[in-house]
Copies of this chain bind each other. A is one copy, B any other.
Amino acid sequence: MNISQLRRHMQEKEIDLTIFLNAGFEPNPNMFYFSGYSGAGLLAIPKKQQAFLMVPEMEASKAKRLNFKIIEKPKGKRFFQILKQHSKAKTIGLETENFSILALKELRKQFKRIKIKDISKACYDIRKVKCADEVKIIKQGCKITDEIMLDCFKNFKKFKTESEVKAYLEYNAKKKGCDLAFPTIVASGKNSALAHHQTEDKRLTKGFCIIDFGVKYKGYCTDITRTIYLGKPKKQEIELYNILLGCQNSTIKQVKIGARCADLFIHAQKQLGKYAKYFNHGLGHGIGAQIHESPNLYTESKDVLVKDMTFTIEPGIYLKDSGIRIEDDILVTDKGYEILTKTEKGLITI
């Protein structure tokens, strides 16, 4: 919740007021990061005065549990109407990637002749290095994720469909008081060839089965993928799996303060040799309040690793009729790295 860092950015860019808006069910990650609040509302961070959350009457009791200044928005009033009573800002910072054309039009009705500046990148930059509390939460989230994955493997024999596996994983996340970081992917047989397969109420079929799952624990995301084998793998399938596993392990070993994300990607590609062309997505992404955040681990990334970044490393190989992917969550440390997800990586056959 590093408001002071954001304020330094605001000072530099001559921004009087930064606002974050959440009109729907999905939490706004920046609003959550800077205030701890994940409901509908508006977070206002003036350059100097106290920051405050403006929330609909209905959400007020929930919001008041936070250690934050709360203003109730009366029914029938618009957020920006009330904001106008509290601010004379001339330059407003907002997330242009997350702020709708309609909201801007309404904002301009109340604040005439304002200048708008995008603060999306500044927020990603602030959020990409985690503080001690965040690291602790993400570590704990990864521990819970490991427990759920292990339990899932132990019970795997009783699942008949992809949906059942997904439902079981997500049930256990919720029983442990977590939300989901993203919709779980369970892709068996031919479906494993699609990196973003949508889990179906479809019988599990023989062959590789990709399980990509993550929880949201105290507002922070985890993300793990394991590929298991249903049935008896052929020799060349085991070889393929081990090439990917070797690639993933070797790439993780490259993680250290100062390493360039683009170089990690290139390293992973090299390890895959002739299979590099079947690796058709990024190597990884930052995890935090959002499931995809900075740093980005792909060819054109300009990100350089800094202590206390948390991100995934997840190479994959997708052939015509089957695919594999292995993904862990990594923390950059003084000594290099720590692997936060510890679920077994040898090929499990079921």
Contacts and interface: CB of A to CB of B under 8 A. Distances in A.
A61 B194 contact: yes
Interface stretch (A6-14, A44-52, A94-102): A94-102
23 contacts: A25-B183, A25-B291, A39-B196, A39-B198, A58-B195, A58-B280, A62-B194, A62-B197, A75-B280, A76-B300, A94-B101, A98-B100, A100-B100, A101-B101, A102-B120, A163-B174, A163-B175, A163-B177, A168-B171, A170-B170, A176-B201, A177-B200, A179-B183
Contacts of A104: 101
A283 to B, nearest CB: 14
Interface string A181-219: 011000000000111111011000000000000000000
Contacts of A338: none
Given A97-B101, A179-B183, 5 more contacts: A58-B194, A61-B194, A76-B300, A101-B101, A176-B201
A172 B166 CA distance: 11
Interface of A: 25-26, 39, 57-59, 61-62, 75-76, 94, 96-105, 116, 118, 120, 163-164, 166-168, 170-172, 174-177, 179, 182-183, 193-198, 200-201, 280-281, 291, 300
A293 B157 CA distance: 42
Contacts of A116: 101
A193 B59 CA distance: 11
Nearest to A75: B280
A280 B57 contact: yes
A197 to B, nearest CB: 7
A100 B102 CA distance: 9
A58 to B, nearest CB: 5
Contacts of A193: 61
Contacts of A96: 100-102, 105
CB-CB nearest 6 A-B residue pairs: A177-B201, A167-B174, A171-B171, A96-B101, A96-B102, A97-B102
A285 B307 CA distance: 48
Nearest to A193: B61
Given A25-B183, A164-B175, A194-B62, A118 B102 contact: yes
Contact of A166 (B102, B166, B174): B174
Nearest to A190: B61
A135 to B, nearest CB: 22
A317 to B, nearest CB: 14
Contacts of A172: 167
A35 B98 CA distance: 24
Contact of A196 (B59, B103, B166, B175): B59
B100 A101 contact: yes
